[in-house]
Structure 1
């Protein structure tokens, strides 16, 4: 009897701490996962990555080199984890209630709605906001 062990698949990209960083992350994630996850899950993953990178650009300091690190990996249970690491901010990420006419304030609410879980980890270099789906 033979056993097949699936190797974990993981990717990482460093993007500019700038609005175009979300564009780069979205396209790279979509290209890498296009044939590996169902289309609806891919759409959710792209939206989550874009929101997390957008939040990092707007609310957090960059990592050294004026960048943000975006990583994702396929989980053994068939899920997907997305991690966005930046230089951190004095007030950590938190859900906000946006009024209908507000121009912003919905990012983490969108992430929470699409993800099965999300959270924040901090270390000496900054913070990582992660989401799973």
Structure 2
């Protein structure tokens, strides 16, 4: 009697890009510009992804900054038509949370924007001391 063994093998991503950036306003701006350039070169929709990158990079600079440590932007187009955006910073203990800001507050809406634009989003802890905030967009209708 023969036994068949079935394994799920993840295939390589269709496109992938990763970069380390300084945890500054300039680094956050560069994250958005690089995302727009790569997604455009890959022939993918840019607007929602660029906004998500801008919000996550800004949060990495404001809430995840550790002097001397960069944050990482990752863009991956997966088989099945999904774009995964990842921003990793060095403050794993500072987990993001959504909360309704005061009406007159000038900040505090970033994750609400990510939640509205992304099909899925979440946080992956580690390796210590890091955390990765990720969002996924379904590219096919």
TM range (shorter): 0.7 to 0.9
After TM superposition, give the deviation of residue 6 of structure 1 in Å.
8.3
- Aligned residue for 1:50? 54
How many residues are treated as equivalent by the alignment? 126
Q: Out of 19, 25, 31, which is 2:37 matched to? A: 31
- 1:110 Cα deviation after fit: 0.4
**TM-score normalised over the length of structure 2:** 0.81
8 Å Cα contact 1:73/1:82 also seen in 2 = yes
Instruction: Tell me the equivalent position of 2:18.
Output: 12
Q: TM-score under structure 1 normalisation?
A: 0.86
**Shift in Å, 1:7:** 5.4
Corresponding residue SS for 2:106: coil
Point out where structure 1 has 5 or more consecutive residues left out of the alignment: none
Q: Which residue of 2 aligns with 1:93?
A: 96
1:118 corresponding residue in structure 2 = 121
Match in the other structure for 2:111: 108
Gap change, CA 1:86 and 1:54, over 3 Å in 2: same
Max Rg structure: 2
Gaps of 5+ in 2: 1-10
What is the alpha-carbon root mean square deviation over aligned residues? 1.9
